[in-house]
Amino acid sequence: MARPTDEQRREMLVDMVTARVQSQRIFNLQRQGRVGTMAPVDGHEATIVGAAHALDTDHDWVLPQYREPIALRRYGPEMLEHVMLYNIGHPAGGHIPAPIRVLPYQISLATQIPHAVGLAWGLTLQDDPGVVLVFFGDGSSSEGDFYEAGNLAGVLGAPVIFLCVNNQWAISTPVHLQTAAESFAAKAAAFGFPGIQIDGNDVDAVYDAVQTARTRALAGKGPTLIEAVVYRLGPHTTADDPTRYVPAEDLEAARRSDPIKRLRTELETAGLWDDDVQAEVEEAALAALDAALEKARSTPLAPDAMLDHCYTTDTQRLARQRAGLLAEAGPGGSAR
């Protein structure tokens, strides 16, 4: 079993606390009308952070859905800038500059999964020593893209890790209405590669599962499907009222398994964490968030920015539209 060191576990808790505090602040900013709709991270931290810490940020790629980017701090401070640009609706939030190996937010369910397989197969063709980890939800697993991508990955033996975050809900659809399968992990049998179910609130279990899958992928043995079982502790998004459908007793039970409480208790017992550290981490997280929001708000917005990052070079139609937008804005024009 690959076990993280004490120092890694401490770093993981820093990332988990940072993500939750920042996510809660962004939630409040939405309530003030300062950012758009957002999906809180609460309850998913051990899975996202544990996975990120098992990867090599210099070589391995991460394709998130929409709940993960705030917890991918390990990939660099640029991630928070991306999150804030995205949250204010700035077109620059649709792109993460190199060398960060993380793709932008994906709202259209499951489309990141075939992208991950293509990217992973591309790495193999280029003899690039990296793997690709793709996050998707229990709800996304019902999309055709998941099955097509899983099948192709199995056939190609692509170096990809499918990480299904089973948080029990797809908005208001509970897992028992999502699938009649015994588990999401069991679906790997149809693709011809291993599928394992783990406790996604246990950062050590996530770290171990991702390390094992990574080693396997790098050895040319192909993909792994990991189902991380967690519980969505917050609303689906700022546009949701979960009190209408989440049973209060289930939520209460899930709160007792809160991944942050769990790791914090363990680290406190080992003398590696205390209230002062907690306060310092929270303060630094909020300061970083304020700075990233400020930076995002002052990022210039070119009138034709929405056409950037669609293609490497504009198609003829895009080029015409770009010229039209620039002409409309006039010299030195801005979209704001």
Ligand X SMILES: Cc1ncc(C[n+]2csc(CCOP(=O)(O)OP(=O)(O)O)c2C)c(N)n1
Interface residues toward ligand X, by CB under 6 A: 67, 107-109, 137-140, 167, 169-171, 232, 236
Chosen from ligand X, Mg ion, none, partner binding at 30 (C-beta under 5 to 8 Å by type) = none
The partner in contact with residue 310, picked from Mg ion, ligand X, none with C-beta cut-offs of 5 to 8 angstroms by kind, is none
Question: Annotated catalytic, 232?
Answer: yes
Nearest distance, CB of residue 173 and Mg ion, angstroms? 8
Whole-number Å distance between alpha carbons of 137 and 141: 6
Q: Active-site residue 90, yes or no? A: no
Binds 286: which of Mg ion, ligand X, none (CB < 5-8 Å by kind): none
Residue nearest Mg ion, CB atom distance: 137
CB of 136 to ligand X, least distance (A): 6
**C-alpha 215 chain-centroid distance:** 21
Binding region for Mg ion (CB under 5 A): 137-139, 167, 170
DSSP type of residue 79: H
Output the smallest distance, CB 167 to Mg ion, in A. Answer: 4
**Nearer residue to ligand X within complex by CB, 69 or 137:** 137
Looking at the Cβ atoms of 138 and 304, the one nearer to Mg ion is: 138
Active-site position among 245, 297, 309, 320: 245
Query: What string of DSSP letters covers 272-321?
Result: S--HHHHHHHHHHHHHHHHHHHHHHHTS---TTGGGTTSSSS--HHHHHH
For the bound state, the minimum distance from the C-beta of residue 243 to ligand X, rounded and expressed in Å, comes to 17
Supply the Cα-derived Rg of the chain in whole angstroms.
Answer: 20
Contacts by 155-158, CB closer than 8 A, 24 or more apart: 155/192, 156/117, 156/121, 156/124, 156/222, 157/220, 157/221, 157/222, 157/223, 158/117, 158/120, 158/121, 158/124, 158/132, 158/222, 158/223
The rounded Cα 240 to chain-centroid distance in angstroms is 20
The catalytic position among 67, 73, 82, 236 is 236
Q: Which CB sits closer to ligand X, 22 or 167?
A: 167
Residue 67's binding partner among ligand X, Mg ion, none (Cβ under 5 to 8 angstroms by kind) is ligand X
Residues 6+ apart with CB under 8 A from 54: 2, 206, 207, 208, 210, 211, 214
CB of 218 to ligand X, least distance (A): 28
Q: Which is nearer to ligand X, 138 or 304 (CB)?
A: 138
Could you tell me which residues are beta bridge partners of residue 228?
Answer: 165, 198
140 binds, among Mg ion, ligand X, none (CB under 5 to 8 A by kind): ligand X
44, 67, 214, 232: the active-site residue: 232
Q: Which residues are catalytic?
A: 232, 236, 245
